[in-house]
C-alpha cells in the first residue's frame, strides 16, 4: 500500500480537481441536480432575444407522475413517510382521521402516491369522477393515480379534462396554470390537443402578454398569483425542460426579495399555527387561505432552484417550526413542498429596502424583528404597519420626515426645503412628486444638479453622513421617455456616494 504518493502526481491531481470544479459546463438545477446550462446572452445578442426564447418543441416525453412530482421529489416524500417526520404525521393524521379536506382530490391523490395506498387513491378517483369541476385537482388525480384507473375510468376522466380545457377561457394565472396541468396530464392519451394547448399558452399568454407586463411593472403579477405561477414553472421545467425565468430575468432576480419584504412584520396567531401575512388591500381580518398559499409559493420557489442565493435566504425564513401549516387546507402543501434538509441562510441579512423604479414601488422595514415599522408606497397609495396595526395613509398625512431603519421617508412638493441631519449614510425617499419628472436639487455648498423621479413619483437619494446641511428641490419638467428608469433596485439602493462627496445621486444618474 502506497501511503505517500509521488508529490508530482498529487499536484497534478489537485490541479485537475480544481479545473473540473471551475468548469461552467452545467449549472445546478432543481434540487442541486446538474442541468443543461441556462441560455445566456452571447456577444452581440440582445436581451430581448432571450425574452422570446421558448422550448425547442412542446412534446412531453415524461411518464406519470409528471405533474409537480419529479422522481427526486417523490423519493423525498416517501423518505419523509418512512422517517415519520412531523409534516408527514400531520398529513397522515388528517387523512386517516377523515378530516374535512377542502381540496380532497389533491390531498387524497398526494397521500395515495406517497403512501402507495390504493384505497385512498380510489377515493381520489371517485371524487374526480363525481361533480367536482376543479381542473387542477382533476389533472392531479388523473396523473398521480393513473396506475389505479381502469379503462372506463380513464376515458371518463379524460373526457372531463377535455371539457374543462374547452370551457376554461379565462386568462388569469390560476386558470392558465390549470389548463397547462390538464394538457400535460393528457399527453399520450389524447392526440394533438395537449401540444397545441401548451404552445398557444406559452406563446400567446406567457411571451406576448405576461412577460412584457411584468417587465414593465412587477405589480402586474399580484402576490396571490405567486403560487399558480410557480406551479406552472415547475411543470414546464419538468416536462419541457425550459426555465421560464429566462424570459423575464430582471423580474425574477428580485422575485424572492419582493415576496419576503411584502409580509407584514407581526405574525398572526391562528388556532393551528402562526402565519406570516402578505400585504393585502381592504379592511378586516386577513385571509388565512391566501396566507397558506403564500407560504406554499415560497416553499415551491425554493424547491424550484435550491442553489439560488436568494432562495436560501427565503429557506431560512421558512424553516421555523411555529409556521408549519397544520390545517386541512395547508398541511398537504406543507408536506408537498417543504424540505427541512435544505440549508437556509439567515433572513436578517436580507435587504430592508425594496425600490422598483419601473413599478413606482417602495417597501421599507426598520428591521426583521416582529415589532418592526413597515411601509409600502405604490403610485400614490401608502400603507403603514406600526405597533402591530396596519393603516392606509394619504401621503400628505406624513407631516415630518419618518425614519424607517436606515431610510428616511418624506412627502415632497414641487418646491421644498429639507435638512440633512443624520450621522450615518442615509437613503432618502421623497414621495408624492410628479412621476417621470426632472427636479433641480441644490445642497449647501454644492452646485445645482438634476435628479429624476420614477414611475410612481418617488425620488431616491443617497447621502453620506451630514449635520445641519440644507437642501432645496424644485420641479423642472417631465422626463423624456427615453430617460425613464428601466430597472429595479433593491437593497441599500443604487446611487450611493462615498463619504468624500456630499452631494446625492439618484438611480437615474
CATH code of the domain covering residue 313: 1.50.10.100
Model confidence pLDDT, tens digit, residues 287-297? 999 999 999 99
**Residues 162, 98 share a domain:** yes
- Buried b / exposed e along 65-75 (16+ C-beta atoms within 10 A): bbbbbbeebee
Phi and psi (nearest 5°) for 241? 55, 45
**Residues 164, 309 share a domain:** yes
Q: How confident is the model at residue 508 (pLDDT cuts 50, 70, 90)?
A: very low
**Residues 209, 285 share a domain:** yes
Q: What is the pLDDT of residue 466?
A: 73
Q: How confident is the model at residue 150 (pLDDT cuts 50, 70, 90)?
A: very high
Phi and psi (nearest 5°) for 230? -70, -35
Residue 497, domain member (yes or no): no
Model confidence pLDDT, tens digit, residues 298-312? 999 999 999 999 999
Q: Is the pLDDT confidence value at 57 over 70? A: yes
Q: What is the pLDDT of residue 53?
A: 87
Q: What is the pLDDT of residue 168?
A: 85
Domains contained in the chain, number: 2
**Residues 484, 409 share a domain:** yes
How far is Cα 216 from Cα 488, in angstroms, rounded to an integer? 10
How far is Cα 394 from Cα 383, in angstroms, rounded to an integer? 8
Q: What is the pLDDT of residue 13?
A: 44
How far is Cα 239 from Cα 56, in angstroms, rounded to an integer? 12
Mean pLDDT confidence for 469-492:
72
How far is Cα 358 from Cα 485, in angstroms, rounded to an integer? 6
**Residues 154, 303 share a domain:** yes
Of 13 and 448, the one with more pLDDT: 448
**Residues 215, 107 share a domain:** yes
Contact yes or no for 373/385 (Cβ under 8 A): yes
Residue 48, domain member (yes or no): no
Q: What is the pLDDT of residue 421?
A: 78
Q: Which of 309, 337, 365 is the last residue of a domain?
A: 337
Provide the 3-class DSSP secondary structure of residue 426: strand
Residue 367, domain member (yes or no): yes
Per the omega criterion (within 30 degrees of 0), is the bond before 65 cis? yes
Q: What is the pLDDT of residue 275?
A: 97
Residue 114, domain member (yes or no): yes
Q: What is the pLDDT of residue 272?
A: 94
Containing domain of residue 364, as a range? 352-490
Q: How confident is the model at residue 340 (pLDDT cuts 50, 70, 90)?
A: very high
Q: Which of 311, 337, 363 is the last residue of a domain?
A: 337
Q: What is the pLDDT of residue 43?
A: 39
Number of other residues whose CB lies within 10 A of the CB of residue 81: 18
Number of other residues whose CB lies within 10 A of the CB of residue 110: 25
Contact yes or no for 336/77 (Cβ under 8 A): yes
Model confidence pLDDT, tens digit, residues 403-431? 999 899 999 999 999 888 777 778 999 99
Tell me the average pLDDT of the chain: 86
How far are the Cα atoms of 129, 294, 375 from residue 404, in angstroms, in the given order? 55, 25, 8
Q: What is the pLDDT of residue 425?
A: 72
**Residues 184, 105 share a domain:** yes
**Residues 130, 95 share a domain:** yes
**Residues 266, 232 share a domain:** yes
Measured CA angle at 240 (ends 234, 245), to 5 deg? 55
Q: How confident is the model at residue 482 (pLDDT cuts 50, 70, 90)?
A: low
Residue 323, domain member (yes or no): yes
**Residues 63, 145 share a domain:** yes
477: left (phi over 0), alpha (psi -120 to 50) or beta: left
Model confidence pLDDT, tens digit, residues 251-267? 999 999 999 999 999 99
Residue 168, domain member (yes or no): yes
* Largest pairwise CA distance in the chain: 84
Residue 24, domain member (yes or no): no
Provide the 3-class DSSP secondary structure of residue 105: helix
Contact yes or no for 215/455 (Cβ under 8 A): no
Residue 427, domain member (yes or no): yes
**Residues 155, 80 share a domain:** yes
**Residues 295, 428 share a domain:** no
Helices (H), 319-462: 330-337
Amino acid at each position: 500500500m502506497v501511503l505517500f504518493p509521488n508529490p508530482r502526481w498529487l499536484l497534478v491531481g489537485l490541479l485537475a480537481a480544481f479545473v473540473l470544479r471551475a468548469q461552467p459546463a452545467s449549472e445546478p438545477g432543481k434540487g442541486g441536480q446538474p442541468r443543461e446550462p441556462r441560455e445566456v446572452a452571447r456577444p452581440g445578442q440582445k436581451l430581448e432575444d432571450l425574452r422570446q426564447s421558448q422550448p425547442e418543441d412542446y412534446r412531453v416525453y415524461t411518464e406519470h407522475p409528471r405533474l409537480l412530482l419529479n422522481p427526486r421529489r417523490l423519493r423525498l416524500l416517501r423518505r419523509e413517510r418512512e422517517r415519520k417526520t412531523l409534516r408527514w404525521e400531520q398529513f397522515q393524521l388528517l387523512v386517516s382521521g377523515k378530516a374535512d379536506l377542502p381540496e380532497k382530490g389533491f390531498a387524497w391523490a398526494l397521500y395515495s402516491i406517497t403512501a402507495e395506498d390504493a384505497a385512498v387513491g380510489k377515493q381520489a378517483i371517485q371524487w374526480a369522477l363525481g361533480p367536482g369541476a376543479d381542473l387542477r385537482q382533476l389533472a392531479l388525480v388523473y396523473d398521480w393515480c393513473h396506475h389505479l384507473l381502469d379503462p372506463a375510468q380513464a376515458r371518463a376522466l379524460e373526457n372531463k379534462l377535455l371539457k374543462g380545457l374547452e370551457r376554461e377561457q379565462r386568462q388569469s394565472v390560476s386558470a392558465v396554470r390549470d389548463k397547462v396541468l390538464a394538457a400535460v396530464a393528457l399527453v399520450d392519451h389524447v392526440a394533438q390537443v395537449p401540444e397545441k394547448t401548451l404552445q398557444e399558452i406559452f406563446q400567446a399568454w406567457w411571451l406576448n402578454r405576461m412577460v412584457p407586463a411584468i417587465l414593465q411593472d412587477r405589480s402586474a403579477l399580484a402576490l396571490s398569483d405567486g403560487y399558480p405561477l410557480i406551479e406552472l414553472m415547475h411543470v414546464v421545467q419538468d416536462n419541457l425542460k425550459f426555465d421560464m425565468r429566462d424570459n423575464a430575468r430582471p423580474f425574477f432576480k428580485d422575485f424572492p426579495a419582493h415576496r419576503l419584504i411584502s409580509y407584514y412584520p407581526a405574525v398572526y396567531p391562528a388556532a393551528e399555527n402562526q402565519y406570516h401575512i402578505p400585504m393585502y388591500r381592504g379592511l378586516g381580518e386577513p385571509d388565512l387561505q391566501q396566507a397558506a398559499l403564500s407560504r406554499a409559493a415560497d416553499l415551491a420557489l425554493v424547491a424550484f432552484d435550491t442553489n439560488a442565493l436568494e432562495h436560501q435566504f427565503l429557506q431560512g425564513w421558512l424553516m421555523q417550526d411555529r409556521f408549519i401549516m397544520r390545517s386541512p387546507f395547508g398541511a398537504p402543501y406543507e408536506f408537498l413542498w417543504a424540505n427541512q434538509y435544505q440549508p437556509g441562510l439567515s433572513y436578517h441579512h436580507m435587504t430592508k429596502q425594496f425600490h422598483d423604479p419601473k413599478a413606482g414601488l417602495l417597501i421599507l422595514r426598520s428591521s426583521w424583528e416582529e415589532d418592526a415599522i413597515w411601509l409600502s408606497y405604490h403610485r400614490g397609495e401608502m400603507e403603514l404597519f406600526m405597533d402591530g396595526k396596519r393603516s392606509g395613509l394619504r401621503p400628505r398625512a406624513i407631516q415630518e420626515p419618518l425614519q424607517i431603519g436606515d431610510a428616511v421617508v418624506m412627502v415632497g412638493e414641487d418646491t421644498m426645503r429639507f435638512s440633512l441631519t443624520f450621522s450615518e449614510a442615509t437613503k432618502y425617499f421623497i414621495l408624492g412628486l410628479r412621476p417621470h419628472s426632472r427636479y433641480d436639487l441644490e445642497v449647501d455648498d454644492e452646485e445645482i444638479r438634476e435628479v429624476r423621479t420614477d414611475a410612481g413619483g418617488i425620488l431616491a437619494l443617497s447621502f453620506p453622513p451630514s449635520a445641519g446641511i440644507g437642501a432645496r428641490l424644485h420641479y423642472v419638467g417631465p422626463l423624456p421617455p427615453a430617460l425613464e428608469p428601466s430597472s429595479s433596485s433593491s437593497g441599500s439602493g443604487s446611487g450611493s456616494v462615498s463619504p468624500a462627496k456630499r452631494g446625492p445621486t439618484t438611480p437615474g444618474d
